[in-house]
Amino acid sequence: MAEPFSTIGGVATKDEAYRKLMHHIEEAINQCLVIGHFYNTEDDNMSKTLAKGWYGIGNEMLPMMKEQIRQIAMRKMQ
């Protein structure tokens, strides 16, 4: 289900790949928070626990990963 990779003049660029990756990570963060919200609306304890897990992924794990990727990219693209 991969979509065609956009290119500039027929050549794939690191910049475009990086921007696409950051966009997808942002989308993943948003979707984790949405899933957490849906679990949080249910009344049982297991759902509340799952909601906390999804919030943890969306608020801590993915942003940490995004920052690490940003740091690596800053070193490699200079």
Look at residues 5, 13, 8, 24 and name the one whose alpha carbon lies nearest to residue 77: 13
Question: Which residue is it, tokens 């759902």?
Answer: 47
Model confidence, pTM: 0.81
Distance CA(28)–CA(69), nearest Å, equals 15
| Residue 38 pLDDT > 90 | yes
Q: What is the pLDDT of residues 52-78, one digit of tens each?
A: 999 999 999 999 999 999 999 888 766
8 A C-beta contact, residue 36 and residue 51: yes
pLDDT of residue 58: 97
pLDDT of residue 3: 62
